[in-house]
């Protein structure tokens, strides 16, 4: 490789690295997710997708990147964001920016954050700020009234059914 070609190669490599760093910085600016609906065992989470319309202008952090290239990863932690997440889900571009997270524990504090990635370019952003929520307590239906069975002068046989958990 000639000295001229080596200089051109080094310059292109440095440009690629600078672009990757700009992309990482832009991905790290993702806003915290919002909680839309909370149930005893599930939650609906939404987030603001990264806007590439203005950023694709010359000199912006997203040259020739389409919004469909982004993949969003949603992390749910029980309590505080420490240790392994209770749930981690990848959201492909065509799935939109809404995710229903299921199999949560009732009346439990959770936090959720999100991370944007560009897998085709091998660039991963930092986790967003966490959003905290508590799942609802399980509500029980009012049990049906007791049934009186056999009766005697000093005794009575009573039976009843347990209340059903309306959320399963």
pLDDT in tens, 129-162: 999 999 998 876 567 788 999 999 999 999 887 7
Q: By residue range, what is the domain housing residue 108? A: 3-139
pTM: 0.70
The contacts of residue 73 (CB under 8 Å, 6+ apart) are 88, 89, 90, 91, 114, 115, 116, 117
CA distance 19 to 24: 9
Q: Is residue 82 over pLDDT 90?
A: no
Please report the pLDDT score of residue 36 as a whole number: 96
Q: Is residue 11 over pLDDT 70?
A: no
Sign of CA dihedral 123, 127, 129, 132: positive
The answer to whether residue 153 sits within a structural domain is no
The answer to whether residue 154 sits within a structural domain is no
41 - beta bridge partners?
none
- Band (6; pLDDT cuts 50, 70, 90): low
b/e per residue 124-155 (b: at least 16 CB within 10 A) = bbebbebbebebbeeeeeeeeeeeeeeeeeee
In CATH, what number is assigned to the domain containing residue 43? 2.60.40.10
CA distance 73 to 80: 18
The answer to whether residue 149 sits within a structural domain is no
CA distance 45 to 136: 15
The answer to whether residue 130 sits within a structural domain is yes
- Band (64; pLDDT cuts 50, 70, 90): confident
Give me the residue label for tokens 């990635």.
117
Domain count of the chain? 1
Closest CA to 26 of 59, 58, 60: 60
87 - beta bridge partners?
76
The answer to whether residue 23 sits within a structural domain is yes
The answer to whether residue 42 sits within a structural domain is yes
The answer to whether residue 157 sits within a structural domain is no
The answer to whether residue 161 sits within a structural domain is no
């Amino acid at each position: 490789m000639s000295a001229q070609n080596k200089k051109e190669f080094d310059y292109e490599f440095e440009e690629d690295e600078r672009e990757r760093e700009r992309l990482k910085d832009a991905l790290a600016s993702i806003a915290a997710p919002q909680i839309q609906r909370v149930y005893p065992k599930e939650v609906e989470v939404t987030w603001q997708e990264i806007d590439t319309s203005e950023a694709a202008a010359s000199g912006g952090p997203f040259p020739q990147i389409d919004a469909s290239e982004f993949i969003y990863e949603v992390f749910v932690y029980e309590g505080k964001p420490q240790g392994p997440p209770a749930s981690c889900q990848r959201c492909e571009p065509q799935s939109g920016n809404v995710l229903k997270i299921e199999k949560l524990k009732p009346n439990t504090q959770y936090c959720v954050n999100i991370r944007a990635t560009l897998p085709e370019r091998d660039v991963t952003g930092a986790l967003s700020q966490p959003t905290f929520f508590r799942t609802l307590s399980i509500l029980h239906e009012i049990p049906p009234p007791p049934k009186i069975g056999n009766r005697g002068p000093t005794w009575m046989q009573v039976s009843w059914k347990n209340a059903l958990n309306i959320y399963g």
